[in-house]
Amino acid sequence: MKKYFLKSKTLLALNFIFITMCSASSVILAFILRQITDISYGGEIDRLKSVLYLMAGYSVLMGILGFIKRILRRLFIKNTMYNLKKDIFNNLISRKISSFSLENSANYISAINNDTGIVEQEYFLSLLDSFDYVITFIIATFAIFKLNTYVAIAILLSGFIPMLVPTIFQKELGKRKKEYSDGIGSFTTKIKDIFTGFEVIKSFNIEEKIKEDFQHSNESLETKKYRSGFFESIANTISEFFGFVVFFVPLGLGTYLTLNGQFTAGGMVASVQLTNYIVNPVLNFSYILTKIKGAKPINEKLCNMINESNGEEEGASKEEFRELIQFENISFSYNEERKILDNISFSINKGEKIAIVGKSGSGKSTLLKLLLRYYENYDGEIKLDDKSIKDISLTSLYKLISIIQQNVFMFDDSIKANVALYGDYTDEEIDNAIRNSGLEELLKNLPMGKDSSVGENGSNLSGGEKQRISIARALVKNTPIILLDEATGSLDSKTAYEIENSLLGIEGLTSIVITHKLSEELLSKYDKILVLDKGQIIEMGSFDELIDEEGYFYSLFNVEKAA
Ligand SMILES: Nc1ncnc2c1ncn2[C@@H]1O[C@H](COP(=O)(O)OP(=O)(O)OP(=O)(O)O)[C@@H](O)[C@H]1O
């Protein structure tokens, strides 16, 4: 985290300069007080006027310096927080899908919103404050030595006790802060789930249960916050107590010296003022040290997030797909419990159209996910033209392969933007994709056509319309390989047929299509049908071959036909 503190060097240096100027100016106040007191004790009325002018000038100077110091502090924090959030976000957005999905996305939201807020308050601002305190302490110490050596030594000796407090409480406080930060993560996850599932909650009448659930999380988070604050309060109270002790030691000694005639009344007043500038920084410094040390686990959490390798640039680039996709003896499990794919081998020539069929849960989608490198911990090898996909960078892999899925995420933007996905396409390319995905009918009924908004996550569109947008996205990308995962599931039979049929008609396009609709007309157009059961390919061949075999596919097909 230090790296971010030191990044805006010029602003940091300016902050240090103005902090030093403000601290030095504050200490001067003690000497003005000494002068005023001595004038009043000495009855020197003619010197009063010049001291009054001095005080007026001093007030104006302090006002100006204080203002500049505050603005510089805000500018510094603005730059530092911008850099920190940018790095966290950049790492998250460039992660591989497999590594991103390891955590709930609400935890990422919480890290960017809440954890950075904690780091801003407890680390960056505290570091600036600690510099302020150290400088004030040094200048005031120097000044009090000038006034009286005994008083100075007494303050310094007793002044370091409160500094021990943070060391005692650091570990416990850090633990509780981390607990609180993790709590915010779970709380954000809960709220996100509730609002995402709003319709289900309403239609299944489970509001009361959800309210109870929410209150439970709410209470648990507030308790964690209280516990973290409670420990902080104990640490602060102990620091404060020692602060008073420290304050009274030199005060007593100063009075004693004044009574013995070894100190002037003005010197006494000045030393009381200077004691403030020594005791308060020591007190605040110990308090701030507690905060800085307490923020350590959160700093580490964010640094780990930033430094985690996202693997994005692993692998070489591959510009084109020339001839073959090969799955060689692929076995895979999401976890130790169950094998999802079991020794799968097949190949697809460029331009071929492959259909994958099989019962729900047989591993069809998983097969496509492996081709997209969502997971890499499989046995066997998947190759694109003799090159293992693990050796191809994700950026170039996704320039060669696009996927159309059943669940489509929509950005709250126009239809056009959702099709182009911020890519650089001509209007003609976008219009072609819109036509081939069957979106034209929808656009005719919208006054703003393709510039109409789709709403939050496509709330203005039907399930089928969202699927057509997803198909248009893949078409406009114009990759040589397209994967369809149940992509026409929510379309009416006619539209589904038309879209699948038009994809099958694209010359040279290699497509792998997972389908549940066993339509003879469509399936007979595929070069090959893969039949999956319990993670294994149990049959493979053209539609006619599989029907002639009268095996598993034949019975699946007949069940569907009878339905
Ligand atoms: N992320 C995951 N973690 C653990 N298990 C998973 C995960 N994703 C899928 N599975 C399991 O792997 C098995 C195969 O899932 P997959 O989605 O590949 O099946 P499918 O044949 O595409 O099913 P469907 O036709 O219902 O979409 C299922 O039993 C599923 O529960």
Per residue, the 3-state secondary structure of 61-99, as one string, reads HHHHHHHHHHHHHHHHHHHHHHHHHHHHHHHHHCCCHHH
Q: Is the pLDDT score of 163 beyond 80?
A: no
533 neighbors 548 (Cβ within 8 angstroms) = no
50 neighbors 80 (Cβ within 8 angstroms) = no
278 and 343 co-located in one domain: no
Distance 360 CA to ligand 1 centre (A): 8
Q: Is the pLDDT score of 239 beyond 80?
A: no
Q: Is the pLDDT score of 312 beyond 60?
A: no
Alpha-carbon distance values, 98 to 64, 94, 373, 421 (Å): 54, 11, 8, 22
> Residue 130 sits in a domain of what CATH number?
1.20.1560.10
Residue with tokens 């209150």: 215
243 and 368 co-located in one domain: no
Specify the 3-state DSSP secondary structure of 392: strand
Q: What is the pLDDT of residues 39-82, one digit of tens each?
A: 877 767 777 788 888 889 999 999 999 999 999 999 999 999 99
Average pLDDT, integer, range 323-343: 91
Q: What is the DSSP string of 187-226?
A: HHHHHHHHHHTHHHHHHTT-HHHHHHHHHHHHHHHHHHHH
H helix or E strand, kind and range, residue 253: helix 207-259
Strand 379-384 relative to strand 481-485, pairing? unpaired
More confident residue, 439 or 130: 130
Supply the DSSP symbol for 308.
S
246 and 332 co-located in one domain: no
Q: Is the pLDDT score of 119 beyond 90?
A: yes
Q: What is the pLDDT, as a whole number, of residue 276?
A: 83
State which of 307, 342, 365 marks the end of a domain: 307
Q: What is the pLDDT, as a whole number, of residue 220?
A: 93
Q: Is the pLDDT score of 403 beyond 80?
A: yes
434 and 295 co-located in one domain: no
> Residue 541 sits in a domain of what CATH number?
3.40.50.300
Closest CA to 343 of 390, 389, 378: 378
Closest CA to 536 of 404, 401, 366: 366
Distance 361 CA to ligand 1 centre (A): 5
Q: Has residue 315 been placed in a domain? A: no
Q: Is the pLDDT score of 338 beyond 80?
A: yes
Average pLDDT, integer, range 133-139: 92
Q: Has residue 313 been placed in a domain? A: no
Q: What is the pLDDT, as a whole number, of residue 548?
A: 92
420 neighbors 479 (Cβ within 8 angstroms) = no
Q: Is the pLDDT score of 166 beyond 70?
A: no
Q: What is the pLDDT, as a whole number, of residue 192?
A: 80
Distance 203 CA to ligand 1 centre (A): 27
Strand 353-358 relative to strand 528-533, pairing? parallel
Residues counted in the chain:
563
Q: What is the pLDDT of residues 407-461, one digit of tens each?
A: 778 888 889 988 988 788 998 999 988 888 888 878 888 888 888 888 877 888 8
Q: What is the pLDDT of residues 265-277, one digit of tens each?
A: 788 788 878 888 8
Q: What is the pLDDT, as a whole number, of residue 144?
A: 87
Q: Is the pLDDT score of 466 beyond 70?
A: yes
Q: What is the pLDDT of residues 277-300, one digit of tens each?
A: 887 887 788 778 878 887 888 898
Q: Has residue 69 been placed in a domain? A: yes
Average of per-residue pLDDT values in the chain: 86
Q: Which two tokens stand for residue 429?
A: 């390319």
- Binding pocket residue ranges, ligand 1, CB within 6 Å: 334, 340, 358, 360-366
Q: What is the pLDDT, as a whole number, of residue 330?
A: 96
Distance 426 CA to ligand 1 centre (A): 38
Q: Is the pLDDT score of 315 beyond 90?
A: no
436 neighbors 505 (Cβ within 8 angstroms) = no
257 and 384 co-located in one domain: no
184 and 45 co-located in one domain: yes
Rounded to the nearest 5°, which phi and psi values hold at 525?
-85, -15
Distance 318 CA to ligand 1 centre (A): 29
Atom in ligand 1 nearest the alpha carbon of residue 362: 21
- Return all residues near 511 (Cβ < 8 A) that are at least 6 apart: 353, 354, 481, 482, 483, 484, 503, 504
Q: Has residue 503 been placed in a domain? A: yes
The pick from 100, 362, 517 for probing ligand 1's pocket by mutation, whose C-beta has the most ligand atoms within 8 angstroms, reads 362
Alpha-carbon distance values, 202 to 78, 207, 210, 213, 520 (Å): 42, 7, 10, 15, 41
The 10 Å Cβ neighbour count of residue 240 is 15
120 and 184 co-located in one domain: yes
Q: Has residue 317 been placed in a domain? A: no
365 and 216 co-located in one domain: no
Specify the 3-state DSSP secondary structure of 398: helix
The 10 Å Cβ neighbour count of residue 267 is 23
State which of 281, 307, 333 marks the end of a domain: 307
Distance 346 CA to ligand 1 centre (A): 20
Q: What is the pLDDT, as a whole number, of residue 563?
A: 65
Rama region for 535: left / alpha / beta (φ>0; ψ in -120 to 50; rest): left
Locate all alpha helices (DSSP H) within 437-563, ordered by sequence: 440-444, 463-477, 493-504, 520-523, 543-549, 552-562
Domain count, the chain: 2
Residue 554 structural domain: 324-562
Helices 265-294, 149-159: crossing angle, 10 deg rounding = 20
Say how far apart CA 249 and CA 254 lie, in whole Å.
Answer: 9
Say how far apart CA 399 and CA 385 lie, in whole Å.
Answer: 15
Percent of the chain beyond pLDDT 70? 95
Q: Has residue 471 been placed in a domain? A: yes
Percent of the chain beyond pLDDT 90? 33
Average pLDDT, integer, range 458-477: 84
Q: Has residue 420 been placed in a domain? A: yes
Atom in ligand 1 nearest the alpha carbon of residue 358: 21
451 and 405 co-located in one domain: yes
State which of 251, 281, 307 marks the end of a domain: 307
400 and 264 co-located in one domain: no
The pick from 102, 336, 340 for probing ligand 1's pocket by mutation, whose C-beta has the most ligand atoms within 8 angstroms, reads 340
Predicted confidence band at 24 (pLDDT cuts at 50, 70, 90)? very high
Q: Has residue 104 been placed in a domain? A: yes
H helix or E strand, kind and range, residue 268: helix 265-294
More confident residue, 352 or 335: 352
286 and 359 co-located in one domain: no
- Return all residues near 118 (Cβ < 8 A) that are at least 6 apart: 177, 181, 295, 298
137 neighbors 274 (Cβ within 8 angstroms) = no
Interface confidence (ipTM) of the complex: 0.97
Average pLDDT, integer, range 307-316: 69
Q: What is the DSSP string of 426-438?
A: -HHHHHHHHHHTT
Average pLDDT, integer, range 539-544: 93
Q: Is the pLDDT score of 400 beyond 80?
A: yes
Q: What is the pLDDT of residues 495-541, one digit of tens each?
A: 777 777 777 888 888 999 998 878 888 889 999 999 999 999 999 99
529 and 412 co-located in one domain: yes
